Structure 1
Amino acid sequence: MATDTTKRPVHEVILEKVKLQATPGDAQSVVDVMDKLGWDNHWHMSLGDAKAVFVRQAIREHKPRTLLELGTYIGYSATVIGSEMVATWKELGGGDPKPLLLSLDINETTTAVAKQIATIAGLVSPTGQSTVEFLVGDCLKIIPTLKERFPNGFDAVFIDCWKQLYLPSIKLLEEHGLLHSGSVVIGDNILNPGAPDFLAHVRNSPRYETTVHESTVEYTNDKDWVTVSKVVA
């Protein structure tokens, strides 16, 4: 008998389906399962396949070795970005430092799901160095503590948390020296539901060169934007 998924939290359904249908160690198969569920009556507030195109493009172009993600949810974007970071690292011949994505979120339950999904994708290792690490807490409290571990800052940042946190988060990153020349800040949901103060900041500050990519909200046809802002000063 098929499992009734209609009354269960969507993150539980997605984790179950990923465990059953994805190929362990194959990040793309994990993403494919999650995308299919997103389009087939299990909508989830992940990055989504349409906007992932622009995020992958930014990772391939800028080839970050360290990336800070603000907003983990269930690990879709961490899987997309982490696997792309590994691919570009291998194309450059590997070596140290290995790519590292640090993902922050305040929700313990969905972060636990994200860790399991990233493990299935082959990005979290129970024994060796993981490509993706997860940290639970308030990003506005955690960001000021990161300079000690990341003295050179981050090569890239992906922001997909509560929209009212976008602007204070990027200002904290600036204040604590966690962005350097060449760093790239990627913002999701810039149009829908929208982060207008963040958009004004990265458009108007001489510190950034910003490109706005027109796309659609995850698993819908509603319009949305992704921004890619390169630190130039």
Structure 2
Amino acid sequence: MLLTLLYSCTGGAAVLYALYRWIIPFIVQYHAGLALIWHDKFVEGMLDMLTRSTRPQRLLAAVQKNATRGDPRSVVRAIDQFCRHKEWAMNVGDEKGCILDSVVSEANPTYVLELGTYCGYSTVRIASLLSPNSKLITVEFNPEYAKIARQVIAWAGLQDKIHLVEGASGDLIPKMQEMFGVKTFDLVFLDHWKDRYLPDTKLMEKCGLLRKGSILLADNVICPGTPDYLEYIRNSPQYESQYFKSHLEYTKVEDGLEKSVFLG
């Protein structure tokens, strides 16, 4: 009787572990809604409770353990390894990150604005490709994310290239010229709240922060999706747009980046 109960408990535990470790992660790789619910609701909440830490704190610990201080690319690799093999996180990711790299390298921007820092992954990718006299301003609404991002940026050795400001994008965009002496941005990377893509783009237009040739690069335009932004940017005579098909970070779910050149 006791042995039967023991075998049943052991078998049940093995099934639950297999579901958690392999079966469910495999299934959600191909389903957008399930992927976001599984990673952002269930797994993150469970690990927060078990470890008494947050996902950004665990990501920072992985960087400090596995990345070489002062080496931005090793910081990127450490985060990618953490997100692929340990715990998913909402970075632009390695696949779309290569597209981001190519756009930054091609544009060779002097002034860059990033909306949505999170833990600093894309911030590090962008800043590592900038020339010595370039400036990257990154905006993060969540103070806890900003705290972690500053440490990730410092570990990468890029703190002198990056200005991280905390606050709401809608409040900060009109102050950019006054705060940083920037007339216009050569490149803007949108990766914050998806419902802010369109109003913030219109706000940048209104504030004169875009010049002829300025590039907007928007992440997650398919998943979770930014339909109002895409409708505007693709139909406005002020922009010439190109879609780069890819996948939601660290999954097989379709996602992509929209590159839009401001024509004035």
Q: What's the TM-score once normalised by structure 1's chain length?
A: 0.89
Say which of 138, 145, 167 aligns to 1:137.
Answer: 167
State the alpha-carbon separation in 2 of the partners of residues 145 and 122 from structure 1: 27
Which residue does the alignment assign to 2:195? 164
Q: Deviations over 1:2-25 (max 9, x none)?
A: xx9853311111111111211111
1:190-205 matches, within 5 Å, as 190-205=221-236
Count matched residues. 215
Higher relative contact order (CA 8 A, sep 6+): 1
Provide the C-alpha distance between the structure 2 equivalents of 1:151 and 1:39, rounded to a whole number of angstroms.
37
Asked if residue 70 in structure 1 is aligned to residue 115 in structure 2, the reply is: yes
**Larger deviation: 15-24 or 170-179?**
15-24
Distance 1:150 1:195, change over 3 A: farther
Residues in 2 aligned to 1:157 and 1:150: alpha-carbon distance in whole angstroms: 16
Which position in structure 2 is the counterpart of 1:146?
Answer: 176
Deviations 1:27-72 (Å, cap 9, x if unpaired)?
Answer: 0000000000110131001110010111111111111111111101
Q: Structure 2 matches for 1:1-233, cutoff 5 A?
A: 7=51, 8-85=53-130, 89=131, 98-124=133-159, 130-148=160-178, 149-233=180-264
Deviation of the 1:147 alpha carbon? 2.2
Tell me if the contact between 1:144 and 1:176 (Cα under 8 Å) persists in the aligned partners. Answer: yes
TM-fit CA distance, 1:99: 1.1
Secondary structure at the aligned position of 1:42 is classed as coil
Q: Is the 8 A contact 1:147 1:177 kept in 2?
A: no
- In 2, the alpha carbon distance for the partners of 1:150 and 1:204 equals 32
The 3-state SS of whatever aligns with 2:177 is: coil
* Shift in alpha-carbon separation, 1:60–1:76, aligned structure 2, 3 A: same
1:104 partner amino acid: V
Q: TM-score, normalised by structure 2?
A: 0.79
Greater gyration radius: 2
Gaps in structure 1 of 5+ consecutive residues: 125-129
Q: Which runs of 4+ in 1 moved over 6 A?
A: none
Deviations 1:106-143 (A, max 9, x none): 1001111001101111110xxxxx11111000110111
Residue 191 of structure 2 contacts residue 219 of structure 2 at CA under 8 Å; is this kept in 1?
yes
Residue 19 of structure 1 aligns with an amino acid whose one-letter code is Q
| Cα separation, 1, equivalents of 2:231 and 2:177 | 26
The structure richer in helix per residue is 2
- Cα pair 1:150 1:178 within 8 Å, conserved: no
What amino acid sits opposite 1:206 in the alignment? P
Q: Is the Cα contact below 8 Å between 2:111 and 2:182 reproduced in 1?
A: no
Backbone CA RMSD of aligned residues: 1.4
